[in-house]
Amino acid sequence: MSETLRVGIAGVGTVGAAVARLLARQSEALASRTGRKIIVTAFSARDPGKERDADLSGCQFFTDPSALAASPAIDLFVELIGGAEGPARASVETALTHGKSVVTANKALLAAHGVELAALAEQKHAALAFEASVAGGIPIVKTLREGLAGNSIRRVYGILNGTCNYILSRMEREGLSFEQCLSEAQKLGYAEADPTFDIGGFDTAHKLSILASLAFGVKIEPDAIDIEGIERVTLADIEAAAELGFRIKLLGVAQRTADGVEQRVHPTMVRKSTPIAEVMGVLNAVTIDADAVNELTLVGPGAGGDATASAVVADIADIARGVRSAPFGVPAEGLLELVRAPMRRHEGGYYIRLSVPDVPGAFAGIATRMAERGISLESIMQHGGKRGAGREDGAPVGVILITHATSEHLVREALEAIHRDGAVKTPAQVIRIERE
């Protein structure tokens, strides 16, 4: 058996403690799998006296994660501090500069500095592993980087934020409003007091930028993502989706197009009975659409101490076995500049909900504006209450259009024309349909 691999953990919260427990519990199995003993020898944390959910007695303690990263007491540095800058970035750079391999769960750090960190790691012949940064316990990084190494990937998309999926699932299952579900999620600890990062789609976008880099061999560009959150999804949309055989999910989608790589995060209509539509609650799921394998879907826990620790420990085990892949599959210097496909060129079907006065000709006016731009409609239906049944004459009714595949810019133009016509007063709700 080779020499012991000495691990230092920076940040011993829920995930850090779970990593320490898992390494201790699986000590024998990991030694048998990797040929090396793996032990935690040191850790860093802000508060030395804090009660922790792991036995770290006998470990060297550091308050400064960079001092831990540079310490001769460790061979491998596990960064679980979080944040794109500050101590997380500094300590990861320190570890790599010292030729120590790094395992991190920090999606913000990778989204901001992943490419330069990968280059540094490669230069120092160290590993930089980040399975835990995307979709928690789902081994999606390994799958994209290694499991599908022979494929040309066309599209990767998924449910990457458990908070949003929990809220959308509850809205559908219990007929509750977005606000009610968000407040429940906050009570249960599934959502932060300030939920913007999750429900606004920004967390999904960070993760998507990492997946896109792995899938397409491009530099990480979180700023090149079109982002819409789930705040505007109403119960009316969810009910209409259900009637039409769809579910609404917040998806992150990255896909190759003739115009470049399209990266987008938005509420999406997915057809029921597809694997991703059936993923409810806090689970995550990722589907990969590629030339050889056709379609592969992975479903599992996207968060939680133990599930995230599962991914961290798998990375540690690979490093213990001596595996040194380029962090993003291809060498950092070979990553291409991302050419951003403009969102207005997006092609797909659309769900459009409009509030239309119940007067003769209103339907015809809308349909005409669509037809003028060559947008063909799969269906047009009235939603929420029969026409004229106990309602004021001429009061608005909900109208739902489902389009066949068309272009984003045509849809936007048609909606502008409809608004200019004056019949529709409130903004349209537009939700993109993701093809299977």
Rg (CA), the chain: 24
Q: Which residues contact 31 (CB under 8 A, 6 or more apart)?
A: 1, 37, 38
Per CB under 8 A, contacts with a second copy among 169-228 are: 217
Q: Which of 142, 207, 219, 249 is catalytic?
A: 207
Q: Where are the alpha helices (DSSP H) in 288-374?
A: 305-320, 362-372
Give 357's contacts (C-beta < 8 A, 6+ positions apart): 394, 395, 396, 397, 423
**Catalytic annotation present for 207:** yes
Asked if 275 touches a second copy (CB under 8 A), the answer is yes
The least distance separating a second copy from the CB of residue 286, rounded to whole angstroms, comes to 10
Check the annotation: does 11 bind a ligand: yes
Tell me the closest approach of the beta carbon of residue 401 to a second copy, in angstroms. 28
Q: Check: CB of residue 9 under 8 Å from CB of residue 74.
A: no
Binding marks (x or -) toward a second copy, 319..358, rule CB under 8 A? --x-x-xx--xxx--x------------------------
Is the Cβ of residue 29 or residue 371 nearer to a second copy in the bound state?
A: 29
User: Would you say 291 or 372 has its CB closer to a second copy?
Assistant: 291
Give yes or no for residue 138 binding a second copy (CB under 8 A): yes
Stretch that binds a second copy, among 144-152, 242-250, 338-346, 387-395 (CB under 8 A): 144-152
Rounded to whole angstroms, the Cα distance separating 242 from 405 reads 20
Answer yes or no whether residue 395 interacts with a second copy by CB under 8 A.
no
Given 306, 347, 378, 413, the residue binding a second copy (CB under 8 A):
306
The whole-angstrom distance between residue 55's C-alpha and the CA centroid of its chain comes to 32
- DSSP, collapsed to helix, strand or coil, labels residue 418 as helix
317 assigned to a ligand binding site:
no
Q: Helices in 26-161 by DSSP H: which ranges?
A: 27-34, 65-70, 86-97, 107-123, 140-142
Q: With contacts defined by CB under 8 A, how many residues of the chain interact with a second copy? A: 60
Whole-number Cα distances in Å, 27 to 3, 18, 265:
14, 14, 40
Distance between CA atoms of residues 197 and 111, nearest Å: 14
Q: What are the residue ranges of helices labelled H in 175-286?
A: 178-187, 196-199, 202-216, 235-243
- 234 interacts with a second copy by CB under 8 A: no
Residue 260 makes contact with a second copy by CB under 8 A:
no
Q: Is 30 in the site for a second copy (CB under 8 A)?
A: yes
In angstroms, give the least distance from the CB of 168 to a second copy. 15
Is 10 labelled a binding residue?
yes
Q: From 8, 310, 277, select the one nearest 135 (Cα to Cα).
A: 310
Site for a second copy in 51-110 (CB under 8 A): none
With contacts defined by CB under 8 A, name the span among 201-209, 240-248, 285-293, 388-396 that binds a second copy: 285-293
73 three-state secondary structure: coil
Binding residues for NADPH are 107
Binding residues for L-homoserine are 192
Interacting residue ranges for a second copy, rule: CB under 8 A: 18, 22-23, 25-26, 29-30, 32-34, 131, 137-139, 142-143, 146-152, 217, 273, 275, 278-280, 290-301, 304, 306-307, 309-310, 312-314, 316-318, 321, 323, 325-326, 329-331, 334
Report the catalytic residues. 207
